[in-house]
């Protein structure tokens, strides 16, 4: 995971997207109005892609409907960027995100069974905001340890985590266990879109995406603060 320093100016100078650059920008954690607590219509999320070149991975609570709607709209516009079908699933132990899903996964299963269902689809598992104490749905250290060998990705940058040391704990855990790190705004309102993203090489499959993450660059902006590129981790 690499930071980005300097090079001020429009995002498109280095970020790619509709302008044709080879780099893909991904905000790995966004909620649409298909989540009951989000105020962002899918069409607004699509506009972020069209204007800024940042493709949001819609991880709605317990449904893939939002990311399926985005995929449909991207297809209509002729985009060849693979849209990641995703879902933030509430398990009995805490929240887990499934990425590259082909089928929706029901909530309230055990975390282990949820991981089974994610991996049975050839999809990837991502643990969001694992050390966030503001939420009651984070897995925490004990949950991570129980599932460690089966987790693919750890969210190391979440713009809605109130205490920065909790993001730091997530990154430290990921490094300790050799897990790739992701970054996401966790946006629930329009103003939060485009705060945080990964810049990754093109990919065509879950495994290609996984392999691309060590070379990813991350741009991180906590909620309510100015944007800042992060130092290499």
- Regarding pTM above 0.75, the answer is yes
103 neighbors 125 (Cβ within 8 angstroms): no
Query: Looking at 7-16, 88-97, 167-176, which range is the least confident one?
Result: 7-16
Q: Would you state the pLDDT for residue 82?
A: 84
Helices (H), the chain: 12-15, 42-52, 65-76, 111-120, 140-147, 164-177, 206-212
Convert the pLDDT of each residue in 180-199 to its tens digit: 999 999 999 999 999 999 99
Residue 89: per-residue pLDDT: 98
Mean pLDDT within 148-158:
95
Indicate whether 14 pLDDT > 50: no
Say whether pLDDT at 16 is over 60.
no
The pLDDT tens digits of the residues spanning 94-111 come to 999 999 999 999 999 999
> What pLDDT does residue 2 have?
54
Alpha carbons 211 and 200: distance in angstroms, whole number: 10
Q: Could you give the domains of the chain?
A: 21-225 (3.20.20.140)
Work out whether the CA dihedral 101, 49, 127, 200 comes out positive or negative.
positive
- Predicted confidence band of residue 225 (pLDDT cuts 50, 70, 90): low
Give DSSP secondary structure letters for 72-108.
HHHHHTT--SPPPPEEEEE-SS-EEEEES-SS---SS
Pairing mode of beta strands 124-127, 153-158: parallel
Name the phi and psi angles at 98, rounded to 5: -100, 130
């Amino acid at each position: 995971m690499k930071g980005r320093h300097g090079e001020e100016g429009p995002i498109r100078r280095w970020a790619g997207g509709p302008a044709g650059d080879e780099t893909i920008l991904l905000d790995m954690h966004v909620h649409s109005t298909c989540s009951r607590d989000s105020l962002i219509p899918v069409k607004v999320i699509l506009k972020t892609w069209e204007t800024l070149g940042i493709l949001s991975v819609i991880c709605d609570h317990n449904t893939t409907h939002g990311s399926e709607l985005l995929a449909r709209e991207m297809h209509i516009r002729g985009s060849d960027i693979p849209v990641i079908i995703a879902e933030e699933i509430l398990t009995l132990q805490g929240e887990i995100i499934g990425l590259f899903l082909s089928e929706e996964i029901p909530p309230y299963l055990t975390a282990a069974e949820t991981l089974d269902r994610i991996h049975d689809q050839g999809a990837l598992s991502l643990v969001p905001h694992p050390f966030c104490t503001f939420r009651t749905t984070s897995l925490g250290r004990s949950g991570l340890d129980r599932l460690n060998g089966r987790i693919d990705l750890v969210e190391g940058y979440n713009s809605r985590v109130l205490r920065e040391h909790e993001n730091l704990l997530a990154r430290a855990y990921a490094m300790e266990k050799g897990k790739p790190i992701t970054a996401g705004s966790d946006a629930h309102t329009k103003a939060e879109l485009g705060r945080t993203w990964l810049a990754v090489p093109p990919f065509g499959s879950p495994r290609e995406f996984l392999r691309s993450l060590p070379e990813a660059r991350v741009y991180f902006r906590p909620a309510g603060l100015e944007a800042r590129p992060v130092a290499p981790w």
